Amino acid sequence: AVALASPALAKASVQSAEKTCKAEISKQQPESKSVKVDKDSTRATNASFSYLFKVKNADDTTTKLTCTFDRSTETVIGLTPAN
Protein backbone atom coordinates (compact mmCIF):
# COMPACT_ATOMS: atom_id res chain seq x y z
CA ALA A 1 0.00 0.00 0.00
CA VAL A 2 1.19 3.49 -0.80
CA ALA A 3 0.37 6.25 1.66
CA LEU A 4 -0.04 9.73 0.22
CA ALA A 5 -0.05 12.84 2.37
CA SER A 6 -3.03 15.08 1.82
CA PRO A 7 -2.18 18.56 0.52
CA ALA A 8 -3.31 20.08 3.82
CA LEU A 9 -0.65 18.07 5.63
CA ALA A 10 2.13 18.68 3.12
CA LYS A 11 4.00 21.50 4.79
CA ALA A 12 7.27 22.67 3.33
CA SER A 13 10.13 23.45 5.68
CA VAL A 14 11.53 26.96 6.06
CA GLN A 15 14.71 25.84 4.28
CA SER A 16 13.00 24.15 1.32
CA ALA A 17 10.69 27.14 0.83
CA GLU A 18 13.70 29.48 0.94
CA LYS A 19 15.47 27.40 -1.73
CA THR A 20 12.35 27.46 -3.91
CA CYS A 21 12.10 31.26 -3.62
CA LYS A 22 15.80 31.63 -4.38
CA ALA A 23 15.45 29.44 -7.47
CA GLU A 24 12.43 31.46 -8.66
CA ILE A 25 14.35 34.75 -8.29
CA SER A 26 17.33 33.29 -10.16
CA LYS A 27 15.01 32.06 -12.92
CA GLN A 28 13.33 35.46 -13.31
CA GLN A 29 16.59 37.40 -12.98
CA PRO A 30 19.30 35.17 -14.49
CA GLU A 31 21.72 38.11 -14.73
CA SER A 32 21.85 38.57 -10.95
CA LYS A 33 25.23 38.02 -9.31
CA SER A 34 23.92 36.86 -5.94
CA VAL A 35 20.66 36.20 -4.12
CA LYS A 36 20.76 36.26 -0.31
CA VAL A 37 17.98 35.92 2.22
CA ASP A 38 17.67 38.20 5.24
CA LYS A 39 17.06 35.51 7.86
CA ASP A 40 15.87 38.04 10.46
CA SER A 41 13.05 39.14 8.15
CA THR A 42 11.67 35.64 7.53
CA ARG A 43 8.04 35.31 8.62
CA ALA A 44 5.89 32.20 8.88
CA THR A 45 2.18 31.52 9.24
CA ASN A 46 0.25 28.28 8.96
CA ALA A 47 -0.46 29.18 5.32
CA SER A 48 2.76 30.75 4.06
CA PHE A 49 6.36 31.81 4.48
CA SER A 50 7.55 35.30 3.63
CA TYR A 51 11.21 36.10 2.92
CA LEU A 52 13.19 39.25 2.20
CA PHE A 53 15.91 38.71 -0.39
CA LYS A 54 18.76 41.02 -1.33
CA VAL A 55 19.63 40.60 -5.00
CA LYS A 56 22.93 41.89 -6.36
CA ASN A 57 22.37 42.80 -9.99
CA ALA A 58 24.82 42.55 -12.89
CA ASP A 59 25.53 46.31 -12.62
CA ASP A 60 26.37 45.92 -8.88
CA THR A 61 23.17 47.63 -7.72
CA THR A 62 21.15 45.90 -5.01
CA THR A 63 17.44 45.17 -5.18
CA LYS A 64 15.26 43.89 -2.33
CA LEU A 65 12.48 41.45 -3.13
CA THR A 66 9.80 39.89 -0.95
CA CYS A 67 8.98 36.29 -1.79
CA THR A 68 5.79 34.68 -0.51
CA PHE A 69 5.60 30.89 -0.51
CA ASP A 70 2.31 28.98 -0.14
CA ARG A 71 2.88 26.07 2.23
CA SER A 72 -0.11 23.99 1.10
CA THR A 73 0.71 24.09 -2.63
CA GLU A 74 4.48 24.39 -2.05
CA THR A 75 4.78 27.12 -4.68
CA VAL A 76 5.88 30.74 -4.87
CA ILE A 77 2.73 32.87 -4.95
CA GLY A 78 4.32 36.29 -4.91
CA LEU A 79 7.59 37.96 -5.81
CA THR A 80 7.43 41.72 -5.29
CA PRO A 81 9.84 44.63 -4.80
CA ALA A 82 10.40 45.39 -1.12
CA ASN A 83 10.67 48.85 0.41
Cα distances from 41 to residues 1, 10, 18, 60, 62, in angstroms, run 42, 24, 12, 23, 17
**Inter-residue contact 14 to 22 (CB < 8 Å):** no
Distance of alpha carbon 39 from alpha carbon 55, whole angstroms: 14
What is the tens place of the pLDDT at every residue in 26-41?
A: 999 999 999 999 999 9
The pair phi, psi for residue 31, each rounded to 5°, is -80, -5
Cα atoms in the 13 Å half-sphere on the side-chain side of 32: 20
Q: pTM of the prediction?
A: 0.82
**Inter-residue contact 69 to 21 (CB < 8 Å):** yes
**Inter-residue contact 68 to 52 (CB < 8 Å):** no
- pLDDT at position 10 is 53
Please tell me the least confidently modeled range out of 4-8, 40-44, 78-82. Answer: 4-8
